[in-house]
């Protein structure tokens, strides 16, 4: 296996910190500080930051400052609109190819893990990301997988940014995910589509409410 370039490792590390909100939206990043933190020279950091800018994670302005890309309410709307389109297509393909039971088995295992992270919203968010990624991955479409990964990375970032969810709310989310897995196992296409829409709608509504409290500047 080809060994990854140092700049690729730096890219992945910085991106993960952005997704986890260790680097917050609007925060200014310094090449030298990042190089010292990651124990590398400035060259791989510069290369990584350029790629992060190309991919929309940071903004490099004319003053050469590097700022973590901000999140707007329109960003959230756009991301969830794309998610709705992809999930509708994927669900059709899953049933057309008789993959619903195979997927249901994978999802049930993830739901059990979700139950064990109710007290840790960040860990829960990552399990939720795995749950929905399983839908796309089962189709074995590489291009779709890469596109979906970008969307779910942004959803995870936004979810962690606004997460104030109580254990009771997260428990209700787990219950809905369990019902979706059961509908897939039982071959109930319309019921699965309904649960998928309900999960997406509730996630969006909870997210907007939480961000309005924790990040009120996004609504300005």
Burial of 148 (0-12, 13-18, 19+ CB in 10 A): buried
Average pLDDT over residues 95-100: 97
Q: Which residue carries 């992270």 as its tokens?
A: 117
Q: Determine which helix (DSSP H) or strand (DSSP E) holds 50, and give its type and residue range.
A: helix 42-54
Most confident among 103-112, 147-156, 198-207 (mean pLDDT): 103-112
% of the chain exceeding 70 in pLDDT: 92
Q: What is the pLDDT, as a whole number, of residue 163?
A: 60
**Entry pTM:** 0.81
Closest CA to 129 of 114, 109, 144, 112: 114
66: β partners: 29, 60
Please state which of the ranges 11-15, 52-56, 86-90, 211-215 shows the lowest mean pLDDT. Answer: 211-215
The domains of the chain, with CATH numbers, are 6-68 (1.10.10.10), 73-219 (1.20.120.530)
Contact status, residue 125 vs residue 164, Cβ threshold 8 Å: no
């Amino acid at each position: 296996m080809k060994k990854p370039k140092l700049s690729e490792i730096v890219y992945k590390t910085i991106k993960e910190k952005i997704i986890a909100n260790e680097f917050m939206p609007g925060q200014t990043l310094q090449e030298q500080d990042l190089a010292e933190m990651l124990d590398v020279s400035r060259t791989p950091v510069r290369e990584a930051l350029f790629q992060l800018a190309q991919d929309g994670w940071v903004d490099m302005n004319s003053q050469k400052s590097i700022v973590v890309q901000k999140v707007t309410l329109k960003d959230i709307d756009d991301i969830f609109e794309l998610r709705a389109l992809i999930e509708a297509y994927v669900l059709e393909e899953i049933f057309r190819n008789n993959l619903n039971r195979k997927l249901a088995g994978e999802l049930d295992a993830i739901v059990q893990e979700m139950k064990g992270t109710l007290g840790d919203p960040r860990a829960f968010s990552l399990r939720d990301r795995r749950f929905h990624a399983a839908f796309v991955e089962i189709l074995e479409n590489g291009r779709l997988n890469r596109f979906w990964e970008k969307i779910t990375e942004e959803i995870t970032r936004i979810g962690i940014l606004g997460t104030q969810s109580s254990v009771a709310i997260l428990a209700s989310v787990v219950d809905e995910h369990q019902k979706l897995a059961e509908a897939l196992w039982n071959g109930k296409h319309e019921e699965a589509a309904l649960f998928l829409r309900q999960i997406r709608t509730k996630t969006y509504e909870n997210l907007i409410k939480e961000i309005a409290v924790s990040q009120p500047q996004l609504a300005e």
